[in-house]
Amino acid sequence: MATVADSMAGERGWHDDLAQRLATHGLQVRGAMHPAAGDGAPALASGAPALTLVLVGNAGADMWTRFADGPEAGDGAPHPLNRWTRRVVGEIATRCGADAVYPFDGPPWPPFLAWARQADRVFPSPLGLLIHADYGLWHAYRAALLFAERLTEQPAMPRPAPAERPCDTCAGKPCLSACPVGAFDGRTYDVAACRDHLHTVEGKRCMSGGCLARHACPIGPEWAYGRDHASFHMTAFRRG
């Protein structure tokens, strides 16, 4: 079976090859790492250790457009986005000779946030979400691909470009004052207050357009999710 590593013999490296496959579905390579002991990377289905872990995710609206055109979006069954993700990423994993793991596989839940902090340009934000240096808060991790090969790029494994935590120089931190019920204080998140607000008339603005605190972040507003995309996630959160 052909693997991503096979493409290294051509003009493109494995990173570009995989990125092109994912882009067909509005997804991106969101970082790569060579897992070490203690990183929480699961063994491959064969029982062998995973020598390369590649994060798969999205930013902005491209993924939502592809998902909305897929059968899962309208079939009425539970967890349509998770099922779509498992289908499209699973097909790519099979073609590439990789195993796939998803953040919704659990419990125990795979440590995607820890992987992201190693492999991508992300930092903890006052809202608890990881903030990206370019995408702001408008991104997510949908899967990880595990390879038995220690994939490298010439001259080296691609690493996230250096970046500073945007929140450290953010004047006023508007995300902390934008929530109508003050669910965020920079250290904790009052989940109950947030969810209760979404059941009220006043909460309709958050439900239809997305979290107001998230929208208040000045980093990456051009990547903000559209109304249908945001409403989908808010409805799922309100449901619990």
Residue 200's CB is within 10 A of a number of other CB atoms, namely: 12
pLDDT of residue 156: 63
pLDDT reported for residue 74: 95
- The pLDDT of residue 4 is 52
135 exposure class (CB count in 10 Å sphere: 0-12, 13-18, 19+): buried
pLDDT at 154: 59
Q: Which residues contact 97 (CB under 8 A, 6 or more apart)?
A: 1, 2, 3, 4, 147, 148
Q: Which residue is it, tokens 């991790």? A: 141
pLDDT < 50 positions in the chain:
1, 7-11
